[in-house]
Amino acid sequence: MKQIVKKTILDNGITILTDYMPHAYSVAVGVWLPRGSRHEKKDEYGLSHFYEHLVFKGTENRSALEIARAIEDKGGNLEAYTTRQETGFYAQIERSHLPLAIDVIADMLMHPRMDKKEMEKERRVIIEEIHSYDDIPEEIVGDVFNAIHFKGSGIAHSITGNIRQVKALTHKQMLKYREQVVNEIPLLVCASGKVDHNELVKLCTEKFAQKKSSGTIPTDIYKATNSVKIVQKQDIAQSNLFWGLSFDRSLMDERGRCALSLFNVAMGAGMASRLFQKIREDKGLAYSVYSTADVYCDCVDWGVSLATEPHQLRTALDLSLGETKKFLKHGFNKGEFERTKANILGGMYLGADSPEKRVVRMAEQMLHLGEFRTMDESEKTIRSITEDEVVATMNQLFNSAKFSAAVIEPAGRKKTELPVNFF
């Protein structure tokens, strides 16, 4: 799984990384901003996400339709997303159209019109997007968890902002953000596929010539608390639970990240996982149950999500806690460690065929970890780590963590009570 990775930093601070895939017919290329919702001030909540939407509404050179057609008429696709840590814009297209893809993305970021009328139309679209999330308790409970667990940190507020916050965002704020992108915020350009590194450097030098220099990456301070919150909501039938923990990322090196990945897959990343087998297959308590892990620049979180009948909530919680404590005490079951390694390596092999997956992996490693590790390097770490090392690492991390739980349950019943020290 050798990778041919090259890196160049332009005079204006733009970092360019390429991952050459000689047998690919396509290339995935994009630009990432190391700024997401966690970096917003109180009166800016939802700004990064709004900006992501608005740059698609037209530039000085293209209408919204022309932006869409430029890539789609070549059989490609243009994507964008906002997280708490970053905002990304990328296209996947046939290799010969790489110059077009860079031209479109650079045009969106360097020359967005930010038209007032288009902003008002898109504001309504984003409000509808928020309404769609409000209809999904699984989405709400994750935001409630972040709000209580990361209180005092930028991770606490939602990526989109709430409706009141989105309505309060101004055209002036959007213009200021545009200037920050053009003049201050560092840009990361990544490409995977059949891409010539020198060609991409030349293209970026030309298309991003307007950007004269880059400032520093915005920072945020990790804060977390032990907390529990129960929210009642009309028109839902199930209780949705998210419980989890977080810890300072300085406690976890590359082998620690590998240990967390093995732990997460064994616990709840698939139908063969412990949580799925125990809570769904053995007990029939939930349709949806899984675990998830997020690595930020300064912290890491891990959590369990499930939905069940209200009267079964405490049982499902106790079972998920029990499986977690069982792992921390006894480690992997017989054969589980090697199966989990094979699962992770197999997923890595499958993803290696996709320029899109490889470019997103590259960008997010740079933005979250501050470095890029090739798949070969990651494979060596996975193969070399031992069962005892994983168990010892997870016990150390759990002992240093803060724990919280959030529940969204049907209204009109006695509110569930959970102790703050539930773990």
Give yes or no for a contact between 92 and 355, defined as CB atoms under 8 angstroms apart: yes
| Tokens matching residue 110 | 């360097």
Digit-coded pLDDT (tens) for 228-253: 999 999 999 999 999 999 999 999 99
pLDDT at 168: 98
Q: What is the DSSP string of 279-324?
A: IIIIT---S-EEEEEEE-SSEEEEEEEEEE-GGGHHHHHHHHHHHH
Give dist(CA 9, CA 81) in Å, integer: 24
Give dist(CA 57, CA 267) in Å, integer: 42
Digit-coded pLDDT (tens) for 356-395: 999 999 999 999 999 999 999 999 999 999 999 999 999 9
Digit-coded pLDDT (tens) for 296-345: 999 999 999 999 999 999 999 999 999 999 999 999 999 999 999 999 99
Average pLDDT score over residue span 89-96? 98
pLDDT at 135: 86
Residue 163 has pLDDT above 70, yes or no: yes
pLDDT at 217: 75
Digit-coded pLDDT (tens) for 189-242: 999 999 999 999 999 999 999 998 888 777 778 999 999 999 999 999 999 999
Chain mean pLDDT for the chain: 96
Percent of the chain with pLDDT over 70: 100
Which residue do the tokens 């994750």 mark? 142
Q: What would the 3-class secondary structure string for the chain be? A: CCCEEEEEECCCCCEEEEEECCCCCEEEEEEEECCCHHHCCHHHCCHHHHHHHHHHHEECCCEHHHHHHHHHCCCCEEEEEECCCCEEEEEEEEHHHHHHHHHHHHHHHHCECCCHHHHHHHHHHHHHHHHHHHCCHHHHHHHHHHHHHCCCCHHHCCCCCCHHHHHHCCHHHHHHHHHHHHHCCCCEEEEEECCCHHHHHHHHHHHCCCCCCCCCCCCCCCCCCCEEEEEEECCCCCEEEEEEEEEEHHHCCHHHHHHHHHHHHHHHCCCCCHHHHHHHHHCCCCCCEEEEEEECCCEEEEEEEEEECHHHHHHHHHHHHHHHHHHHHHCCCCCHHHHHHHHHHHHHHHHCCCHHHHHHHHHHHHHHHCCCCCHHHHHHHHHHCCHHHHHHHHHHHHHCCEEEEEEEEECCCCCCCCCCCCC
pLDDT at 221: 86
